Structure 1
């Protein structure tokens, strides 16, 4: 009884060429995927209200009162993160430090969000 594996033919030079070319293009696209510029400012919102726009090169803690309680946002050396949030699952805190333009972190239960501003390589409209 012959299996499907025994029916396969060996790869020819053209097969190897297509395989290597595909891997090369995939690697090039993957390396270019994350070329975002560093953010210079962050915008903090609570619901639909903008709390403020802050420079990322300052070191500060910002407390924002949301629907569930207070969220603490930490800005330090060009990056920002949620340091504390009153929500149960803490997804916003687990996101860690953000530093690239266009990144967003949300605390949905508390309705607080951080958007990083700056020159990004592309967005959803120009990509």
Structure 2
């Protein structure tokens, strides 16, 4: 069995700190400043994330309710059967999106810098 000395523990802690810092910095992304709302592939509204408001967007299945609060946005209600876009919750970072495919409504957060996307790499 190995005995760890004080210097060994310091090196391990420093290495772990560097890994955590790089992970947060690399995948954290910037906070968004605008939200783009689409219905049937067409942009319905581009709004700032600085003011609270609610939008009702019509789709083939009914009305999707989009809620915007300072610094975040979400799909609050949707008539889609599985409610996947509602379950995504609040979106805050640039590049995040919620898609209600059955009702053809989407919500995308935009900002100056987009978060690192491992799928698009």
Q: Which bin holds the TM-score, normalised by the shorter protein?
A: 0.7 to 0.9
Aligned residues between the structures:
115
Query: So what's the TM-score if we normalise by structure 2?
Result: 0.77
Q: Secondary structure at the match of 1:34?
A: helix
Q: Residues 121 and 46 of structure 1: is their aligned pair in 2 closer, same or farther, counting only changes over 3 Å?
A: closer
Counterpart Cα distance in 1 of 2:67 and 2:115: 27
Structure 1 residues 11-46: Cα deviation after superposition (integer angstroms, max 9, x where no partner): 588xx79x9386455323322233322211100011
Structure 1 unmatched runs, 5+: 1-9
Counterpart Cα distance in 2 of 1:31 and 1:73: 29
Alignment partner, residue 28 of structure 1: 21
The answer (yes or no) to whether the contact 2:94–2:115 under 8 Å persists in 1 is: no
Structure 2 unmatched runs, 5+: none
The answer (yes or no) to whether the contact 1:74–1:83 under 8 Å persists in 2 is: yes
Counterpart Cα distance in 1 of 2:104 and 2:38: 8
Matched, 1:48 2:22: no
Give 1:108 deviation, angstroms.
1.1
Select 2:83's aligned residue among 81, 90, 94: 90
Counterpart Cα distance in 1 of 2:21 and 2:36: 33
The answer (yes or no) to whether the contact 1:73–1:81 under 8 Å persists in 2 is: yes
- Bigger radius of gyration among the two: 1
Counterpart Cα distance in 2 of 1:103 and 1:77: 16
Select 1:62's aligned residue among 42, 52, 55: 55
Query: So what's the TM-score if we normalise by structure 1?
Result: 0.74
